[in-house]
Structure 1
């Protein structure tokens, strides 16, 4: 639901009486030791990116309508630039069904859907915003691992199917698809995807998890090596990351006692190892996401959990000589923390990222004005005619603050 009018007033009155609570939340969320600043390619240290996964989908529908431009794409990219965001993370995948599917059958493509992605790359370049492009999805949305396993003819595919990472036929299909996509020449500007200057980085998969794989994370690491090498072969000038959430096979190297209390059993269950994957010679930067409510983090530990999740992973990545990209982080809009509490946590986590040497971070998720708030539990805006600090925007002013801080170390 949306929160408007008098309800906003009640919310702000309630938090006005608890400034000490907000200050404590921000202090706990920013409680990170200073560490050397690292950068994600040419981006400034602690750069702010935005998530807008829907750009290819929106652009494809406009291509099908015969429109010369895509209003939602234009608005999103223009506002991202206005907020000071250095890059936008978005989907370069859409497999199987729906009116914007790129790959409609194994290595069979819809040209208009590809033209939608062409438009996203070309327009990002015009707006001066770089892109982090994700090549596939662990989850069922837009096809996911289940689709590839089904296309291979393997029985009873499921969401997050482990055979995506181990079956030779599936891996061969996925790497062949990557090769074709990165070899595409953009119909708008004539530039090959693997050389396109709008692209900062490619991610192998959105949120790969190790369910059903070996406890040490060896199978996932082998998959990372194989797929990342293929991306490197076709896009040697671009950065490559895994797209993972930061889970690991054991709490070694982390504050084990804290995590046992803050999020019992949810973060170190095996199958995929952040440390092992980050060490791959084909991976240029470490990847991390943070959804404390979804990960089972206790409410009272949320602020400190975010600070530790950022800082501990940044330190582990640094041991491999690599920067850390926090590709997604968010708290739910319609349940849990009140808006002012979320704002205090976000501000603190961005301060922690700056202190602990995180290379870049991207809150989930930014929307253009007409995109319904109800479509995503974490949406925020920069609405036309509003001040960034307007409560209806949620976090736009915090993005500006964090972007202004970036590169100042």
Structure 2
């Protein structure tokens, strides 16, 4: 709900919003508006070892590729201080001020932002870099059970939530531009009881700092069981759908849309399909997306957030997408037009619900 009226989400993911150049960030936001989107989703990143290199960075922080392909241009959100043997947070121009800029520019365009506090994966450090600070090679459980990483995560969360935007003076905890927080992008924590314990503890902690915003786990929930939705402090469910990675066909993905979205009824909480993609390498990409968008429109889901919208880099070119083939560009092409129409239809769905509920 927004101002007492139903809100259906037509959204886009973009991973380089925290570290792209100001022009690259605003191009993405402008393209989101042009696509009729009302929500953008990103993760707060990157995380490195130490600036002096004595504590290794486990990913290629010095990449000279474009922003879309993880050249972060020296941006750092968190790092290890080897002298004091502790995490340090960068709140400067190449740190959290980048999030200030993102939120302020989104506000100007009437966009809402889903912010995941952290990424689980190591592409730009994330939780994997944080456990590596302590010499662990345990990818799936160390972060969620070691007292040091738990303390680091809570300190980071508190720093973000209690931050005051350096551009507009608005506290993050009171910023209506923030659609929701997410505990982490795809927290693939094992075993399941450890995941449940960590999610519950961190959800309670976030809500103790901020009761103004929605909270989701950010979990991909690939089996459709949604154990996170049983946690009282989690406000809505999330799932990610990629036939390539889930070992299913596009037709089975369509079936999942109906089944997984219906969990909103079971838990009496909204559900978002907040990542999905089918590669352009497949000749039937347009047909598949068309089928999925219609299924989502007819489903119990509160909306969708497609992976991923990317815009022209500072080179003037769209980034190469040789790996996944999921990229969506504002290029006037058939996929762009399809997603524009699907987002507009989602907005029209909102208007229809509002009309039906009017006295």
TM-score when scaled to structure 2?
0.81
Match of 1:73 in 2: 25
Match of 1:280 in 2: 231
Q: Does 1:94 align with 2:46?
A: yes
Deviation at 1:372, TM superposition (A): 0.8
Match of 2:17 in 1: 55
4+ aligned runs moved over 3 Å, structure 1: 39-46, 391-406
Contact 1:328 1:362 in 2 (8 A): yes
1:196-275 aligned at under 5 Å gives the runs: 196-211=175-190, 213=191, 217-248=192-223, 274-275=225-226
1:343 is aligned, of 286, 294, 301, to: 286
Contact 1:381 1:394 in 2 (8 A): no
Change (3 A) 1:223 1:392: closer
Query: What is the alpha-carbon distance in structure 1 between the residues aligned to residue 177 and residue 23 of structure 2?
Result: 19
Query: What is the alpha-carbon distance in structure 2 between the residues aligned to residue 293 and residue 392 of structure 1?
Result: 19
2:96 is aligned, of 105, 114, 117, to: 114
**What are the Cα deviations for residues 287-317 of structure 1, in whole angstroms up to 9, with x where unaligned?**
10001111111xxx322x2222222222223
Contact 2:290 2:338 in 1 (8 A): no
Query: What is the alpha-carbon distance in structure 1 between the residues aligned to residue 171 and residue 337 of structure 2?
Result: 37
Contact 1:85 1:403 in 2 (8 A): no
Match of 1:142 in 2: 124
Structure number having the greater helix percentage = 1
**Root mean square deviation of aligned Cα:** 2.3
Contact 2:286 2:334 in 1 (8 A): no
Query: What is the alpha-carbon distance in structure 2 between the residues aligned to residue 247 and residue 42 of structure 1?
Result: 32
Tell me the matched-pair count. Answer: 317
Query: What is the alpha-carbon distance in structure 2 between the residues aligned to residue 275 and residue 296 of structure 1?
Result: 19
Contact 1:132 1:203 in 2 (8 A): yes
Secondary structure of 2:262 counterpart: helix
Higher mean C-alpha deviation, range 355-364 or range 371-380: 371-380
Structure 1 gaps of 5+ residues are 1-38, 63-69, 249-253, 255-273
1:157 is aligned, of 134, 137, 149, to: 137
Query: What is the alpha-carbon distance in structure 1 between the residues aligned to residue 2 and residue 259 of structure 2?
Result: 18
Secondary structure of 1:322 counterpart: coil
Structure 2 gaps of 5+ residues are 49-56, 62-73, 81-86, 354-359
Query: What is the alpha-carbon distance in structure 2 between the residues aligned to residue 321 and residue 49 of structure 1?
Result: 22
Query: What is the alpha-carbon distance in structure 1 between the residues aligned to residue 147 and residue 220 of structure 2?
Result: 25
Higher relative contact order (CA 8 A, sep 6+): 1
Contact 2:217 2:228 in 1 (8 A): yes
TM-score when scaled to structure 1?
0.72
Q: Does 1:295 align with 2:243?
A: no
Deviation at 1:278, TM superposition (A): 1.0
Deviation at 1:241, TM superposition (A): 0.4
Query: What is the alpha-carbon distance in structure 1 between the residues aligned to residue 116 and residue 172 of structure 2?
Result: 13
Query: What is the alpha-carbon distance in structure 2 between the residues aligned to residue 138 and residue 280 of structure 1?
Result: 20
Secondary structure of 1:294 counterpart: helix
